[in-house]
């Protein structure tokens, strides 16, 4: 059979695995999928332009409150921008930043972990020393510092978050590689004359990728919260782009007057998404990887 097609099929089978199992966290997954769909189709779904407001319609409450209207279902902010539209486009920013940063960090960490674990010797020493020292740095403060220097933008944010969170993967994957590389099929591959890179790619990687996926799911929540915190502090997503953290920062302006929807709604979105990612990650961890249970 064609090798790449077999790989695709294996991946598809593996990705579909959760649905074939019991105790699958249906609601969290449904929430994540919904947020993803809203993020993708925000252009079609959002009733208004998220960056343009009507100054005459500032601080309108949600439709069900006194003074609210069907025009703005979830109310408007201090510039008269529609909160619902901003939440929808904010989902896009959170999804893009969260997923990309997790994937970039995962790729960096997994590659370093595999190389470190398989190669051993001085390469292992160098990479693990680097990982340890990096782990010792306070991630949030470090991210704030980087963001303050390079300036706010979505691209920078992804690089910063990836730079702050790759270490976990490197550590865990290296540990797994150490045991996988002693197994018979790897020894056979060595005897058969496979090159180092082939062994790492074809024999080691497929055996550690589950752990990387589990870790990635668990990290998604952390990354999204950090993104929101950076945006809240003004070093994340630059205004007027809609991001949930930025909306919370803006929401502070109307808080003393009791405009609760500007604070409660974006925060609930963050919480729902992070909670869903954590529940899914927890389930994946127990299902796929008994070794990771104590993490």
Partner 1 sequence: MKRYILRRLGYSLLSLFLLSVTIFLFVRVTGDPAVLLVEPGASKDDLEMIRMQFGLDQSLVVQYGHFIATLSRGDFGQSFYYRMPVLELYASRLPHSLLLAAAAMLFSLLIGIPTGIIAAVRVNSWWDSAGKIFALLGLSMPSFWVGLVMILFFSVYLGWLPSSGSGTPLHLVMPAIALGWVFAAAHMRLTRSSMLDVLGSEYVKLARLKGLPEALVIGKHAFKNALIPVLTLAGINLVIMVNVAVVVETVFAWPGVGRLLYEGISFRDFPVVQATVLLGGAMIVIVNLLVDILYAVIDPRIRYER
Residues that bind partner 1 (CB under 8 A): 129-130, 132-134, 136-138, 140-142, 144-146, 148-150, 221, 225, 228-229, 232-235, 248, 251-252, 255-256, 258, 260, 263-264, 267, 270-271, 274-275, 278-279, 282, 294
Q: How far is the CB of 268 from partner 1 (least distance, A)?
A: 9
Residue whose token pair is 């340890």:
132
Q: What is the DSSP string of 111-168?
A: HHHHHHHHH-HHHHHHHHHHHHHHHHS-HHHHHHHHHHHH-S-HHHHHHHHHHHHSHH
Nearer Cβ to partner 1, position 143 or 199? 143
Q: Are 161 and 96 in contact (CB under 8 A)?
A: no
Q: Which is nearer to partner 1, 29 or 263 (CB)?
A: 263
Smallest separation, CB 12 to partner 1 (Å): 30
Compare residues 102 and 200 and give the one whose CB is closer to partner 1.
Answer: 102
User: In the complex with partner 1, which residue's Cβ is closer, 80 or 267?
Assistant: 267
Which CB sits closer to partner 1, 180 or 265?
265
Cα–Cα distances in Å, from 94 out to 164, 230, 273, 289?
A: 17, 12, 9, 28
Separation in Å, CA 29 to CA 103, 208, 272, 275: 19, 23, 11, 11
Shortest distance, CB of residue 43 to partner 1, whole angstroms?
27
CB of 274 to partner 1, least distance (A): 4
* Residue 100, number of CB atoms within 10 A of its CB: 18
202 and 209 Cβ atoms separated by less than 8 Å: no
Residue 267 beta carbon to partner 1: minimum distance, rounded to whole angstroms: 4
């Amino acid at each position: 059979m064609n090798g790449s097609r077999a790989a695709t099929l294996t991946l598809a089978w593996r990705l579909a695995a959760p649905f074939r199992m019991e105790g699958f966290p249906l609601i969290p997954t449904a929430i994540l999928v919904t947020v993803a769909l809203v993020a993708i189709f925000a252009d079609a779904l959002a009733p208004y332009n998220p960056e343009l407001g009507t100054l005459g319609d500032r601080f309108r409450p949600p439709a069900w409150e006194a003074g609210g209207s069907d025009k703005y279902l979830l109310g408007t902010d201090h510039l008269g921008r529609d909160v619902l539209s901003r939440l929808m486009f904010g989902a896009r920013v959170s999804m893009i930043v969260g997923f990309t940063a997790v994937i970039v960090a995962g790729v960096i960490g997994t590659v370093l972990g595999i190389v470190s674990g398989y190669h051993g010797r001085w390469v292992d020493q160098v990479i693990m020393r680097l990982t340890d020292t990096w782990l010792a740095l306070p991630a949030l403060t470090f991210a704030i510092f980087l963001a303050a220097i390079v300036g706010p933008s979505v691209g920078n944010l992804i690089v910063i978050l990836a730079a702050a969170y790759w270490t976990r993967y490197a550590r865990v994957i290296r540990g797994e590689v150490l045991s996988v590389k002693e197994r018979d099929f790897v020894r056979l591959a060595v005897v058969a004359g496979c090159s180092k890179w082939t062994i790492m790619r074809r024999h080691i990687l497929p055996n550690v990728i589950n752990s990387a996926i589990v870790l990635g799911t668990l990290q998604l929540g952390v990354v999204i919260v950090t993104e929101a915190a950076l945006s809240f502090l003004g070093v994340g997503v630059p205004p007027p782009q809609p991001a949930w953290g930025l909306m919370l920062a803006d929401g502070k302006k109307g808080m003393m007057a009791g405009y609760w929807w500007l604070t409660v709604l974006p925060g609930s979105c963050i919480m729902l998404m992070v909670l869903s990612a954590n529940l899914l990650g927890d389930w994946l961890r127990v299902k796929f990887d008994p070794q990771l249970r104590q993490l």
